Amino acid sequence: MFLKLETRETGSDVGLSTLACFLLGVVITTLSAALIIAVIVSDKAAPELASLAMQNLNTSGVENPVTAVLLNFRSYDTLLEIAVLLIVAVAVLPDQCFAGKTSLPAKRFLSRNVKHQVNPVLAGLLKWLVPLALLVGGYLLWIGAYAPGGAFQAGAVIAGAGVALSLAGQHDFTWQTTSVRITLSLGLLVFIVVAAINNLITGTTLQYPVSYAGLFILIIEVAATISIAAILLLLFVCLKAIAEPAREGDTQ
Amino acid sequence: MTQDLLYSITGIVLFGIGLFGVIAAAHIIRKLIALNTMGIGVFMVLLAAARHGVVTDPVPHAMVLTGIVVAVAGTALCLWLALQLQLLDSPVPEEPP
């Protein structure tokens, strides 16, 4: 249904009059020009945080400074980021979850839809593409400790494999089982458990001891990758499932 | 230096285009795309600001990475709300008597 982008009332894709558009264009052009001039004339101050991060890199447990900032120096950001993802996933989850069903169906997460016929070229491509995406995801997770990469990049690539499967239409995903829900919240749960264990050891919530920092970051990253992949896939599959019957209704 | 400047200027131009779209576009999906364009512009400016000669500041990079995740989540939530809005808005099919 989103192929139809104009609004029903006006039939136009712009909600303003020509004069208002012109004035808005002038204002925004002026604003952008002012910002560009500000960027050109500003002299960049000495990067105080950069040198702080670099000096403390050997206490962080990883060699990649971005991963060190994400999961050690500013790990609150990452904890809350995973919480934000989980909240959105709960919002987008299909309604059947809350329809008063006390017993959840014991279906597998990924089930094959035998009735759906797929182009053999597409099926052959998927056979290569999906394992390759999983492999690349694992590599990105591992390399995150030394070079650009990490949990979110890995999760996005693995979710991409699931999106490809979903678009081909040969597989159905089930989001109603308990194990899937545990998978969705695994990242946040493990993060909180690690923080709690750390609190028992050191007395501070997210300041890891130097000797355990690498291990803690690895555990969190693996759990976060699984959750991020599952949540991104859920967002795509569920939004597609809501949009599809509506679009079919439009064409009738 | 020139490369950083190019990134910053492109980011600001993208921000401007997105701002125009957010205000001028009528359809909610167009507004959402414009909002994402604005966000990408901000990310580009931040990434360009992270470069200081040979030293790259990892803090803005981590902020951008977190920002991308939150932007993805926000976009998904907006799409879901837009779909619900459209479902509410669409005429209810008449039941045969």
Tens digit of each residue's pLDDT (9 = 90 or more) over A126-137: 889 999 999 999
**Structural domains for chain B:** 2-89 (1.10.287)
What's the mean pLDDT in A193-219? 85
Token code pair at residue B51: 């470069």
**pLDDT of residue A245 exceeding 80:** no
C-alpha separations of A222 from A201, A216, A242 in Å? 22, 10, 30
**pLDDT of residue A215 exceeding 70:** yes
Tell me which residue in B29, B70, B86 faces A246 most closely, judged by beta carbons. B86
Tell me which residue in B20, B66, B70 faces A25 most closely, judged by beta carbons. B20
Tens digit of each residue's pLDDT (9 = 90 or more) over A99-127: 444 454 556 777 777 777 778 888 889 88
Q: B57 and A249 in contact by Cβ < 8 A?
A: no
What length is written for chain A?
252
Residue A127 resides in a domain:
yes
What pLDDT score was predicted for residue A146? 84
A169 at B interface, C-beta within 8 A: no
Please give the DSSP secondary-structure letter assigned to residue A63.
S
Q: B15 and A35 in contact by Cβ < 8 A?
A: yes
Tens digit of each residue's pLDDT (9 = 90 or more) over B51-96: 776 677 888 888 899 999 999 999 999 999 988 888 887 766 666 6
Residue A5 resides in a domain:
no
Q: A5 and B9 in contact by Cβ < 8 A?
A: no
**Cα A202 to the center of its chain, rounded Å:** 31
Q: B16 and A15 in contact by Cβ < 8 A?
A: no
Full domain range(s) for residue A243 = 45-251
Confidence of residue A10 (pLDDT cuts 50, 70, 90): very low
ipTM value, please give it. 0.84
Tens digit of each residue's pLDDT (9 = 90 or more) over A58-105: 888 788 888 888 888 888 888 999 999 999 999 888 765 444 444 545
A147 at B interface, C-beta within 8 A: no
Domain count, chain A: 1
Using an 8 Å Cβ cutoff, are A4 and B13 in contact?
no
Confidence of residue A174 (pLDDT cuts 50, 70, 90): confident
- For chain A, give the percent of residues with pLDDT over 90: 31
Q: Is A110 exposed, middle or buried (0-12, 13-18, 19+ CB in 10 A)?
A: exposed
Nearest chain B residue to A18 by CA: give it. Answer: B24
B90 at A interface, C-beta within 8 A: yes
Residue A181 resides in a domain:
yes
Residue A133 resides in a domain:
yes
What pLDDT score was predicted for residue A7? 46
